[in-house]
Amino acid sequence: MNRILKFLVLMAALFSVTILSAQTRKKTTKNEASNGTSKKVESAEAPKRIDPAQATEEIVERIYNYLSACTPYELVDADDNTISDFNAIDNSTSFKKGDFGISTYEWGVTYSGFLKAADVLGVTKYSDYVYERLKFLGKVYPYVKNYYDETGYQMRLNALHTPKWLDDCGAMTAAMIKATLADPRGSREFRQLLDNWFDFVMYKEYRFGNGILARNRPTTNSVWLDDMYMGITPIAYRGKLSQSERGDLTQKYYNEAINQVLLFKKYLWIPEKNLYRHGWIEGMSEHPSYHWARANGWAVLTMCDVLDAVPENVQGRDEVLELLCNVLRGIAAYQSPEGTWHQLIDKTESYLETSASAMFVYGFAHAVNQGWLDKTAYQDIAKAGWNAVMRQVNEMGQVENTCVGTGLGWTNTFYEGRPVSVYAAHGYGPVLLAAAEMIKLYRGGNRIPYYSATVSYDKPMLFLAGDSTCKNGSGTGSNGQWGWGSFFNEYVNDGIIVENDAVGGLSSRTFFNNNWGGIRDRIKKGDYVIIQFGHNDMSALGTGRARGTVSGTSDQPTPVVMEKNGATENVYSYGHYVRMMVRQTKIRGGIPVIVSPTPQNSWGMDGKVRRFTDTYNAWCRRVAEEEACEFVDFNVLAAERFDALGKEVSQSDYFSDSVHTKEKGARLYCDILAEALKDTSLGQYVK
């Protein structure tokens, strides 16, 4: 009976609380209504949309702040005292200890990542980080060499002079070559070290009889997928460096890079899964296939670099491209719901690993940006992967859940049991590479200055849309060739910001189809766009690079069958593509300026430069008149200047080949254009 009474009392109490709670909710709702507010209204404000490119830039900045503070570049003696006089170097000298070494293979990738971030974002402190440390290593190298040559003592710094395997120098050599291509002058202080290390990669690293880069340590006669990046990337980029310096071994290096990729395929590619195994050892009767994620990541980075460095006409390059696309397709199938990939790609019970995931993100984003993979099919894989990778960068700028260094293993548990650490240096370079490439993907495949995504400017922008005569290569003077756009910011005042978005090798057609959107979507009222094309528009319509345009200004399409895939593309006239860029600029409140193409280094019997009088000049003028926009007949103005200088002086001092200019020629173009623009609305910004 007592139990029943207690139960009834308890139920009455609960009922009273329920009634009171209901009355309280009713009263609260009534009061909120009388105040003209409600909880729904209070929470109605939607969260602000975060610009993914800006969020990515913040990740790069966070990593930079961490690494710049924890990777000193100093020498110390056995008592940890700083050595400022390098003549004091001896066998106890070492680099000052930081969180990471500054000459390891992992840091070679980190340097490449910072160089790419600096190029994409226009932030010089990222490249300064690289050059400061590479120059330091270059200064130390001769002293290490002299000490070793004189004494024969083994040193802590011995890898600078006598590397023992690719880990000692391969990725570092690749970074040095990339830094040299970006800034030939800035690399002088480490050029001796670069050449010494490359000599080891190319001629001294252990190989099998068929020439594949291999290892004799720690396991005899073994092939490691990791060595693709440490061996092949520097060889491919040495070919590009040789080409820029007009060396005679360019083709040799290109062929060697392609051949190495195909040899690694022979030993390590598993076609049934479109994945690589980690390693191969000659003495084994069976070769188990463990698809370690980071090893596959090294292969992805390598093939991207080879395709970037090796020209399209080199035999075997198409096979490398097909192989890259196949491995990316294989990797795509194993992406986790979280967005990242597992330590063993095909083993979902293994943990999710950051460094490999960042490598894969880079591969997908780069392949999409380069047009190697279908954008619609693969960009979301890159975005999902990057969103997950970003979450692995903590507030300090450390990269979490990165697997430590790993040798070859023959069980699942070996790979699954490898620890992770924020001090595993392998994570930082891949995350930087992925970040830079994702920013290009978010911005339509274009490189942009840092400020455009992070700072609100009240100044107008001047976008330059053109070909290699406006920006040759990366715009750093490779082959001694410069586009005028590399210097034009010096010819305007601080009332406007110049952004050189020109791309070498593109016509009005290929620029409009592939690159124009990156400019168009950022044009705001009062911005300017200079449009200058013509040289590549003379190319074939459907064969080769298929970049040519139909003559004239008609808007009628011409169906053309594309040689590369048999598809039919509607190709328009030169004037049509220019017209579309003009109209889309004006719709957004921008101000287009059509500029006829630069002259070619082609001279008539009368000793004068040949003009495009009846072709591109006339078509530019016609579109400008029809669309009521400003026009500069640059072709005529520049040709007149060359006529006055004379053929001999023009060819020796201003032109570098049949089209491109030396720095002196590029600056002459800037002078001519700046003077002509004074009569346009842009004149207010010209010095």
pLDDT over 90 at 655, yes or no: yes
Residue 83 forms beta bridges with which residues?
A: 75
Assess whether pLDDT exceeds 60 at residue 452.
Answer: no
- Per-residue pLDDT of 493-515, as tens digits, reads 989 999 999 999 999 999 999 88
- Residue 292 located in a structural domain: yes
Do residues 235 and 283 both lie within one domain?
A: yes
Are 251 and 102 members of one domain?
A: yes
Domains in the chain: how many in total?
A: 2
Contacts of 222 (CB under 8 A, 6+ apart): 214, 215, 216, 279, 280, 281, 282, 408
**pLDDT number for residue 6:** 45
The CATH number given to whatever domain includes residue 572 is 3.40.50.1110
Block residue for tokens 């570049």: 73
Task: Classify strands 352-353 and 341-342 as parallel, antiparallel or unpaired.
Answer: antiparallel
Domain end, chosen from 442, 465, 491, is at 442
Inside any domain, residue 19: no
Cα 136 from Cα 516, distance rounded (Å) = 41
pLDDT in tens, 380-433: 999 999 999 999 999 999 999 999 999 999 999 999 999 999 999 999 999 999
Mean pLDDT computed over 147-165: 89
* Same domain assignment for residues 422 and 481: no
pLDDT tens-digit series, residues 457-486:
468 999 999 999 999 987 878 778 999 999
607-624: buried (b, 16+ CB within 10 Å) or exposed (e) per residue? Answer: eebebbeebbbbbbebbb
Are the C-beta atoms of 544 and 536 separated by less than 8 Å? no
Residue 231 lies in a domain: yes
Q: Considering the chain, what percentage of its residues have pLDDT values greater than 70? A: 90
* 263 and 352 belong to one structural domain: yes
Angle (nearest 5°) at CA 528 between 474 and 501: 15
Q: What is the pLDDT of residue 458?
A: 67
* Nearest of 589, 456, 593 to residue 526 by alpha carbon: 589
| Cβ-based neighbour number of residue 410 at 10 Å | 14
Look at residue 199 in the predicted model and tell me its pLDDT. Answer: 96
Q: How much is the pLDDT for 152?
A: 81
Least confident among 10-19, 124-133, 335-344, 537-546: 10-19
Answer yes or no: is 11 within a domain: no
Residues 235 and 313 in one domain: yes
- The average pLDDT across 39-44 equals 38
- Same domain, yes or no: 417 and 475: no
Would you list the DSSP string of 451-501? HHHHS---SPEEEEEE-TTTS-TTSS-GGG-B-GGGTGGGGB-TTSEEEE-
For residue 187, the model assigns a pLDDT of 86
Separation of alpha carbons 261 and 282, rounded Å: 19
Per-residue tokens: 60? 């790069």
- Out of 442, 475, 497, a domain closes at 442
Closest CA to 312 of 547, 570, 471, 515: 547
**Joined tokens for residue 482:** 């410069």
Contact 177, 241 (CB under 8 A): yes
Over residues 45-62, the pLDDT tens digits come to 444 456 898 899 999 999
State the pTM of this model.
0.63
Q: What per-residue confidence (pLDDT) applies to 247?
A: 66
Q: Is the pLDDT of residue 449 over 90?
A: no
Give the pLDDT confidence score for residue 28 in this predicted structure. 37
Residues 476, 500: Cα–Cα separation, whole Å: 12
* Res 27 pLDDT > 90: no
Residue 105 scores a pLDDT above 70: yes
Q: Which residues contact 360 (CB under 8 A, 6 or more apart)?
A: 293, 296, 297, 300, 328, 331, 341, 385
Residues 460 and 427 reside in one and the same domain = no
Q: What are the Cα distances from residue 277, in Å, to 266, 293, 348, 421?
A: 11, 9, 17, 24
Residue 48 in any domain: the answer is no
How confident is the model over 563-576, as a mean pLDDT? 92
**Residue type for 528, please?**
Y
Buried b (16+ CB within 10 A) or exposed e, 216-236: eeebeebbbbbbbbbbbbbbb
Kindly state the helix (H) or strand (E) to which residue 632 belongs, with its residue range: strand 630-632
The answer on 473 and 400 residing in a single domain is no
549 and 427 inside one domain? no
- What pLDDT is recorded for position 447? 46
- On whether both 407 and 541 belong to a single domain, the answer is no
Q: What is the pLDDT of residues 259-303, one digit of tens each?
A: 999 999 999 999 999 999 999 999 999 999 999 999 999 999 999
Question: Please, which residues have CB within 8 angstroms of residue 377's CB and are 6 or more apart in sequence?
Answer: none
- Domain presence at residue 35: no
The answer as to whether 241 is a domain residue is yes
Per-residue pLDDT reduced to its tens digit, 161-188: 999 999 999 999 999 999 999 988 888 8
**Residue 648 clears pLDDT 70, i.e. is over it:** yes
pLDDT at 666 exceeding the cut of 90: yes
Kindly report, residue by residue over 519-558, the tens digit of the pLDDT: 998 899 999 999 999 999 999 999 999 999 999 999 999 9
Question: Which residue range is the domain that position 677 belongs to?
Answer: 456-685
Question: Do 305 and 178 share a domain, yes or no?
Answer: yes
Averaged pLDDT, 631-643: 97
Residue for token pair 């849309």:
465
107 plus 166 within the same structural domain: yes
Does the pLDDT at position 7 exceed 80? no
Who contacts 362 (Cβ-Cβ below 8 Å, separation ≥6)?
300, 301, 304, 430, 433, 434, 437
Q: Are 254 and 308 in contact (CB under 8 A)?
A: no
Q: What is the CATH number of the domain that holds 185?
A: 1.50.10.10
Q: Average pLDDT, whole number, for the chain?
A: 89
Which residues, 6+ apart, have CB-to-CB distance to 122 below 8 Å?
447, 448, 449, 450, 451
Domain's final residue, options 442, 466, 490: 442
Query: What confidence tens digit (pLDDT) does each residue in 112-124 have?
Result: 999 999 999 989 9
570's tokens? 């509607």
Residue environment code for 501-517, b if the CB has 16+ CB neighbours within 10 A, otherwise e: bbbbebbbbbbbebbbe
- Identify whether 577 is part of a domain: yes
Q: Give the residue carrying structure tokens 């192989």.
A: 323
Q: Is the dihedral of CA 157, 161, 163, 164 positive or negative?
A: negative
Q: Which amino acid is at 285?
A: S
Residues 614-628: pLDDT tens digits?
A: 999 999 999 999 999
